Amino acid sequence: MAGAGKTLPLTAPGFPVPDAAAMDARLRGRSTRWEFFALALAFGSLGLFLWLDNSLRYIPFDYYVYIETARGNLRQFYYPDWILPLFWLLAQLPPLVGFGLWSALNIFCLFFAARLFLLPPPC
């Protein structure tokens, strides 16, 4: 058995192996102006969508599917079942509040992943 006792990286050819120390340094480092700009743009867009959805009395389709899933209608739900308790909690809130929280969670998770795995800066 070749390589017994060694840990081999689980990565595809051409992709670098993540370095834990570098990831930790990126996570703890100061945010750049581009990161603040990206967050401001994302949350500004979310605010605009919430305002428009409230003005038009509209619930975004995907979020409506998630809420209906929490109520037992699995007709258009194609996601893993472990997320259902979160959708149940969001279904207890007014629709636009739940949509705002769900969207903010998505923005923060994307920001965290981009920062942790070092997406290249735009310039």
Per-residue pLDDT of the chain (123 residues; tens, 9 = 90+): 455 555 545 556 666 666 778 778 877 888 889 889 999 999 999 999 999 988 988 888 889 998 998 888 888 888 888 888 999 999 999 999 999 999 999 999 999 888 887 755 555
Residue with tokens 């998630």: 66
Q: What is the three-class DSSP state of 33?
A: helix
Which domain, by its residues, includes 104? 38-116
Domain total in the chain: 1
> Is residue 94 domain-resident?
yes
> Is residue 121 domain-resident?
no
Q: What is the pLDDT of residue 76?
A: 85
Q: What is the three-class DSSP state of 96?
A: helix
- DSSP letter, residue 83: G
> Is residue 21 domain-resident?
no
> Is residue 13 domain-resident?
no
> Is residue 22 domain-resident?
no
